[in-house]
Amino acid sequence: MSEHLLSLLLLVPFVGALVIAFMPRQWVTAIRNVSVGIMLFEFILSLSVLKGDYTGAAYQFVEHTPWVESLGISYKLGVDGISVWLVLLTTLLTPISLFVSWTTIDTKIKEYAIAFLMLEVGMLGAFLALDLFLFYVFWELMLVPMYLIVGVWGGRERVYAAVKFFLYTMVGSLLMLVAILYLVGQYKELTGNYTFDLIELTRVVLPFNAQLWLFGAFALAFAIKVPMFPFHTWLPDAHVQAPTGGSVILAAVLLKLGAYGFIRFAMPLFPLATQYAGPTIAAIGVVGIIYGAYCAWVQRDVKKLVAYSSVSHMGFIALGIFAMTSQGVSGAILQMLNHGVSTGALFILVGVIYERRHTRDLEAFGGIARVMPWYTILFIIVTMSSIGLPGTNGFVGEFMILCGAFLSNEGYVGLGHWARVMTMFAATGVIFAAVYMLHAVLKIFWGPIKHHVNEKLTDLTRREFIALAPLMVLIFWVGLYPATFLDKMEPSVNAFISDFNQRWDQTKNNTTELRLLTADGRGFESLGGDLPEGARAQADLARDGVNR
C-alpha cells in the first residue's frame, strides 16, 4: 500500500465525493456524517505520510507513471519535508472547516460536501505533484469548488466575490501555463524530448532575460494566490462573502499554495531571476506587512480585519522565503502552518459570533467576555498566537523569519544591503499586529455590554469546542516544541538552499545562453554530444576564450 499512499490520499476524497453524489439529498445527517467521516479517515491516512524518511531531502512515496507519453507528461507525486506539513495541514483543516459549517449551511448540503471533498483533492494534488502539468491541473482544479463555495453559499455579494476570485487567480495561472509551455519547449530544444517533470526541468539553464520573464509569470500566479500587495484585493472580498468553512480553507490552505509555489517551482527553476528579483519581492512583502496591518486596523467588519491581517502575515512569509537563509525559509514554512492554524481558528471564531448575531460589525459587540467566557479565552489565545507571543506558534515562525532576514546579507544570495532595514520595518509589523488585534479584542470583549441582544449570547457549543481543540493544541505545540516540525523540514530546506546556491553560483556568469545541466547538477551537458573528442575540446577552448 505504501507505494501508492499518495494516490490513495487523492483517491479517498474523490471516491468520497462520488459516494455522496449518489446519496439522496434528504439524508442530511448521513451526508454530513459521511463527508466528515471520509475527511477524518483521510486525515488518519495522511498521518502515515510521516512514516517516510525525512532525514534526507529525497522525495518520499514517489509515484511515477507516464500519462501522455508523447508530450512527456507524467503522473508524478512525491512528498518531502516541506510539502509533508502542508499536506497534513490540508487534511486536518478540511474536516474542521466542514465540521464548523455543520449548522450554518442548510441548503444544498450534498453539493457543499462534494465541493469540499473535491477541493481537498485539488489542494492535496497541488502539494504532491512533481510534474508541472499535473501541478497545473490540480492548481486549476482547486479553483472550481472554491468558486462554488463562495458563489453559492456565500454572503450577499457572493457572486461578485466569487467571480473576482476566480478571474483574478485565473489570469495569474494562465500566464504561468504559458511560462511552463515555453520552458518545456526549451527543454525539447536542448534534448529533443518533451518533459514536464520538475526535476528534469530544473536542469534547464535559461538565459537571464528569459528567466526574468518566466519567473515573472510564475511569480504573478503565486503572488496573487499568496496574496501579496498589491494583488490582494480579491482576498477581503472573498473572505467576507465566503461561508465560515470556505474562509477557513481559503486562509489556512489555499493561500499557502502561493508561497509553496515559490519554494517548489519558481525559485529552483529560475535561480538567476530569483536572485535578481528576490530582494524586491521581499521588500514588497514588507510593504504588505505594514500596509495589511494598517488596513486591518480600521476595518469594522471582523472578517475583513482578519483578511487584511492575512495579507500582513503572508508578507512575513514572503520575506522569510526570499531571505534564503536556513532559518528564514524554515521559519516561513513553519509560519505557513502557523498562519493556517491561527487564522483558521480566527475565522472559525468569527464564524461563531456571526452565527449567533448575524453581524460582524465591531460596533455591534462589546463586553461579551461576560456572557461568553470560554469563547473569550480561546479568542485571546488565538489573538496571542496571531500577534506572535512567545510560547505560541506565531512567535517561533516570526522570530525565525526575522532572524533569517536580518542575517541574510552575509552570503551572496539573499536580501543584500537592505536586509537589516527590511527586517526592522518588518518587525514593526509585530507592533501593528498587536495594535489591530487588541483593538478588535477591546471592541468585542471588553467594556460594558452595549447591546442588549448580546446579553443572551450562548457560549461555545461542544461541536465548536471539538473543532477548535486541535488548533489550540497545535498553537502551543508549535510554540513550545517546534522541533517536531522543524526537524523533518530541515533537510529539505537545507537542500533547497544549497541546491539554489550551487545552481546560482554555477550559472551566474552564463547570462545569455541556453544550457542544460548534467543530471547530477554539477556541470553543463555539452551540446554536441556526438562530436569527436578533439573537436569538443576545441569548442571548449573557444568558449573559454570568449568568457575570459
Partner 1 sequence: MLDSFPADRALLLIVLFPLVGAIALGLASRLGANRSAVRFVAVGSVFASFVTALFCFAKLYVMKDGDLGGEAVISRQLWEWFHVTVPGFGQTSVDVRFSMDSLSGLMTLVVTGIGGLIHLYALSYMEEEDDAGYARFFTYLNLFTASMLILVLASNLVVMFVGWEGVGLCSYLLIGYKYQYTKYAKAGKKAFIANRVGDLGVIIGMFTLLAATGSFEFAEINAAAPGLKNMGFTFGGETPFFSFATIACGFLFLGCTGKSAQIPLYVWLPDAMAGPTPVSALIHAATMVTSGIYLCCRLSPVFLQSTTVMATIAIIGSVTALVAATIAVVQKEMKKILAYSTVSQLGFMFAAVGVGAFTAGFFHVFTHAFFKACLFLGAGSVMHAIGSHTDANIFKLGGLRHKLKTTHWTFLVSCLAIAGTPFFSGFFSKDEILLGAASVALPHLTEGQTTEGLLLQPWTGWFVLITLFVAATMTAFYMFRMYFLAFWGEEYRSAHGGDHHDQEHGHTHNDGHHDDHHDNGGYEPAEHAYAAKPHESPVLMTFPLQVLGVGAVIVGFLGLPHLLPGGIHLPNLWGEWMSASIASIGDSFPALHASEEHMSPIYVAMTFGLLAWAIGVGAAYQAYANATIDEDLAAKNMDHITAKLGAPVHTFLFDKWRVDEAYDFAILKPIRGLAQLSANIDQSFVDTLLTRFTAWGARGVGWVFTRLQTGVVHFYGFVFILGAAALSWWFLYPHPSLEVRSQEGARVTVEAGTGLGYEYQFDMDSDGQPEGEFGSANTQSFAYDADDHVGFVMNIGTLRGDPEQIPLFRSEQQIDTDLLGVSWQRELAEGEDESALNVPPVVWVTQESKLAIRPNGALVRGGQLGDDGYMTFAPGDVARIGRVPVQFHPVVRATVEVRNAFGHTRKYSEEFVLDGGSRATARLQLTGAPQEVAR
Closest distance to partner 1 from the beta carbon of 37 (Å): 31
Distances in Å between the Cα of 318 and the Cα atoms of 311, 314, 321, 409 are 11, 6, 5, 16
As measured in angstroms, the least distance from the Cβ of 169 to partner 1 is 12
Backbone angles phi, psi at 340, to 5 degrees: -60, -45
Smallest separation, CB 189 to partner 1 (Å):
11
Measured from the CB atom, is 417 or 522 closer to partner 1?
417
The answer to whether the Cα torsion of 324, 394, 290, 351 is positive or negative is positive
Element (H, E) at 9: helix 5-21
Query: Given the complex with partner 1, which of 25 and 481 has the nearer CB atom?
Result: 481
Q: Residue 457 CB, nearest distance to partner 1 (Å)?
A: 15
Q: Which is nearer to partner 1, 103 or 458 (CB)?
A: 458
Three-state SS at 516: strand
Residue (17 or 306) nearer to partner 1, CB = 306
Count other C-beta atoms under 10 Å from residue 441's C-beta. Answer: 16
- The Cβ-side half-sphere exposure at 457, using a 13 Å CA radius, reads 30
Residues 6+ positions from 32 with CB-CB distance below 8 Å: 102, 109, 113
Question: In the complex with partner 1, which residue's Cβ is closer, 82 or 198?
Answer: 82
Would you give the distance in Å from CA 179 to the centre of its chain? 21
Least distance (Å) between residue 434 CB and partner 1: 5
Question: How far, in Å, CA of 286 to CA of 317, rounded?
Answer: 10
Q: What is the closest distance, in whole angstroms, from the C-beta atom of residue 471 to partner 1 in the complex?
A: 18
10 Å CB burial of residue 50 (0-12, 13-18, 19+) is: middle
In order of 66, 87, 491, the CA distances from 278 in angstroms are 35, 26, 22
Q: Which is nearer to partner 1, 24 or 534 (CB)?
A: 534
**What b/e readout covers 343-360, taking b as 16+ CB neighbours within 10 angstroms?**
bbbbbbbbbbbbebbeeb
Q: Which is nearer to partner 1, 24 or 448 (CB)?
A: 448
Minimum distance between the CB of residue 157 and partner 1, rounded to whole angstroms?
Answer: 14
